[in-house]
Amino acid sequence: MQITSLKKQKKELADAKRQLEILSNGIFNNNELPTFATKIKAAGQFPLRPKKLEILQINLGYMCNQVCEHCHVDAGPDRKEIMTKETLQQCLEVIKNTPATTLDLTGGAPEMNPHFRWFVEEASKLGIKDFIVRSNLTIIRANKKYYDLPDFFKKYHIHVVSSMPHWTRGKTDQQRGKGVFDKSIKALHELNSVGYGKPGSPLKLDLVYNPSGAFLPGNQESMEKEFKNALMEDFGIQFHQLFAITNLPIARFLDYLIASDNYEEYMYSLVEAFNASTLQNVMCTNTLSVGWDGYLYDCDFNQMLKLKVASKLKHISEYNEEVVQNRNIIVSQHCYGCTAGAGSSCQGTVA
């Protein structure tokens, strides 16, 4: 397991430009594989355009208590990029006026932003239909000051979405770090005990599954059944839905693919699994991603690649939905990750 971010290690792949170069060179430059733009042109879907905005996803900062091997954010304890109160205030103004029905807080560990609780309290007054916090689970057990998070989430009717790469200790710890599995199980017990994840409970608890290696996720429905049976039988844990998410070839996962000599094979798998019907619902068409510094992106992945929206308005402080929605979505070869098989988004499959 890595103990510091690529940025801290000053690794080549901490640089977004270098990542984009790698994704455009080699097999995509010698016509071995078609670029994503070529592929969606053939499907009559280029340029990709946003539809009605449904989800506003805000990245509260790249600081995290974990350093996961596959992290597309390159998050970790050493990352200092944190959204300021001023920018959070600007987000609140936008939430007040947007017709988007889902607010999705992510990070890093969003709970580590010092203004997190204030922001949740303020945002929850604005009548959001679905208020998501992407919690890595271990944060709940990381420090005494986070122990009451399950109650806090319950108080504001937060929809908790948490990562869980496998129902076995070995696979989970391999991807997310030693001890992560046991802490996650404890956190899930605590969420269950306040009412989260129970059948029929309005306190929604969903899990995210990312493959722990250079392979694509299996059928979401089958995986959900396996997760539910195993977590119930072994630990008495309940949850609502499982979202199977494909690892996109950027940041730490790209670094892993190259270092393990799996890059080409993985890209072949993604391209071979390209499914044009996913293009109708890929998340960049209904989501807008706000970076820790207030800049706007088509998705969290484009944010990490520093590809700001192709609009004359690029910052939350100057937000105008009509102007921002009238744009072309920026694509590169990492986008194949969202269109493989049944597709992939922060809400799971899309096809």
Partner 1 sequence: MADKSYYDPKDLRKFGKITEWSEELGTKFFDYYGKVFEEGALSAREKSLIALAVSHVVKCPYCIDAYTKDGLQRGITKEEMMEAVHAGAAIESGATLVHGVQMMNKYDKLSM
Query: Residue numbers of the site for partner 1 (CB under 8 A)?
Result: 166-168, 171, 211, 213, 215-219, 222-223, 226, 265, 268, 272
Distance of closest approach, residue 212 Cβ to partner 1, in angstroms: 8
DSSP letter for each residue of 187-249: HHHHHHHTTTT-TT-SS-EEEEE--SSSS----HHHHHHHHHHHHHHHH----S-EEE-PPPS
Dig out the tokens for 126 from the structure: 């604005």
Contact yes or no for 289/329 (Cβ under 8 A): no
DSSP secondary structure string for all residues of 257-288: HHHTT-HHHHHHHHHHTB-GGGGGT-GGGTEE
Measured CA to CA, the distance from residue 151 to residue 155 in angstroms comes to 6
d(CA 246, CA 70): 11
**Cβ nearer to partner 1, comparing 5 with 210:** 210
CB nearer to partner 1: give 166 or 204: 166
In the bound state with partner 1, the residue whose beta carbon lies nearer, of 93 and 265, is 265
Q: Which is nearer to partner 1, 291 or 337 (CB)?
A: 337
Q: Report the nearest approach of partner 1 to the CB of residue 7 (Å).
A: 29
Tokens of 112: 């580590």
> Distance between CA atoms of 129 and 193, rounded to whole angstroms?
24
Residues 6+ apart with CB under 8 A from 56: 91, 94, 95, 98, 100, 102, 103, 104, 287, 288, 290
Closer by beta carbon to partner 1, 170 or else 200: 170
- Give SS3 for 337: helix
> In the bound complex, what is the minimum distance in angstroms from residue 302's beta carbon to partner 1?
26
CB of 31 to partner 1, least distance (A): 15
* Strand order across the 55-59 sheet: 242-244, 205-209, 159-163, 130-135, 102-106, 55-59, 287-290, 296-297
Closest CA to 162 of 142, 143, 179, 139: 139
Radius of gyration of the chain (CA): 19
The tokens for 44 are 């009559």
* For partner 1, the closer CB: 108 or 211: 211
In three-state secondary structure terms, 340 is strand
Smallest gap from residue 224 Cβ to partner 1 (A): 11
- When the beta carbons of 196 and 263 are compared against partner 1, the nearer one is 263
Which residue, 118 or 215, is less far from partner 1 as judged by CB? 215
Q: Closest distance between partner 1 and the C-beta of residue 336, in Å?
A: 16
Find out whether 20 and 305 touch, Cβ atoms under 8 Å: yes
Based on CB atoms, which residue is closest to partner 1, 269 or 281? 269
The SS3 call for residue 178 is: coil
- Smallest gap from residue 230 Cβ to partner 1 (A): 9
Q: How far is the CB of 27 from partner 1 (least distance, A)?
A: 11
Least separation in angstroms between residue 36's CB and partner 1 is: 19
